Structure 1
Amino acid sequence: MLISHIDHIVLTVSDIERSVAFYKRVLLMQEVSFANGRKAVKFGCQKINFQILGQEPRNLAQVGSGDVCLISDWPLGDVVNHLAGEGVEIVEGPVEKSGASGPIQSVYFLDPDLNLIEVSVYM
């Protein structure tokens, strides 16, 4: 294959520190710094980099234009309970969808900049 996996994605946000805090608290990701103080969150061998609008001239994404699916090892009921405990409103789900490797059950919610976050488990 030409492409073996995703290394990182970039989300355009209005407040990087607020986004880092949200992803650490809600999705239990680890904060990392790189390249002269840029911020990201890491999980497994992947990360989500954050940028503010206009920070990267090659990227024309707008604040809140992201839509990402994250796979969890937790049972989906535990994910739902955790999100509720963190005060995160589920905007859709649980619902059955199609993942890269087969059927998944998903819940959707919004981050502070209205990026759509899908947390899923394989069925």
Structure 2
Amino acid sequence: MYIERLDHLVLTVRDIDATVAFYVDVLGMRALSFDDGRRALGFGRHKINLHAADALGTPHARHAMAGTADLCFVSTTPMKEIISQLGRFGVAVEQGPVARTGVLGPMMSVYFRDPDGNLIEVANDAQPTDMPGIADGA
């Protein structure tokens, strides 16, 4: 088997409207609706389907619960602008910017929480000069 890409993932949330507002306003995603009113978030070529914790559709994860996700999104927006955007919406940065390693290599990340307490990481793919110890070959 060869897996080419991720089409969508499902996020279980307490309040779909609050989740949509957060991801659209703060992170710039698109609000989507499909299949008789189901809600989702679109970004790039990807989608996050939203399931209400009190009305899960079938099938669903065995232990679907709001606030249990840990997601990392990659952005081309400069890190200073990301942090400024979070501040404008009163979103507290828990950690960062910090050096991390993503699937394509080094990146700089900032961590915060969505309305359900899910851990959200937004990262920039880092240039060698952005990473301590890499520019000098260490």
- Select the structure of larger CA radius of gyration: 2
Aligned to 1:98, which of 101, 104, 112? 101
Match of 1:11 in 2: 11
CA distance in 1, matches of 2:101, 2:35: 36
Equivalent residue of 2:4, what SS? coil
Alpha-carbon shift at residue 56 of structure 1 (Å): 3.1
Match of 1:77 in 2: 80
Alignment-mate amino acid for residue 56 of structure 1: G
Match of 2:46 in 1: 46
CA distance in 2, matches of 1:96, 1:5: 25
With the length of structure 2 as denominator, give the TM-score of the two structures.
Answer: 0.85
Aligned to 2:91, which of 78, 88, 95? 88
Identity %: 44
Larger relative contact order, structure 1 or 2 (CA cutoff 8 Å, min sep 6)? 1
Equivalent residue of 2:94, what SS? strand
Match of 1:56 in 2: 57
Alignment-mate amino acid for residue 16 of structure 2: I
CA distance in 2, matches of 1:40, 1:105: 27
CA distance in 2, matches of 1:89, 1:73: 21
The structure whose residues are more often strand, as a share, is 1
CA distance in 2, matches of 1:82, 1:47: 22
Offset from partner CA, 1:67-115 (integer Å, 9 cap, x none):
1000001111111111111111001111111101101100011000001
Alignment-mate amino acid for residue 116 of structure 2: D
Structure 1 gap ranges (5+): none
Q: How many residues align?
A: 123
With the length of structure 1 as denominator, give the TM-score of the two structures.
Answer: 0.94
Root-mean-square deviation (CA, aligned residues, Å) is: 1.2
Structure 2 gap ranges (5+): 127-138
Aligned to 1:109, which of 94, 109, 112? 112
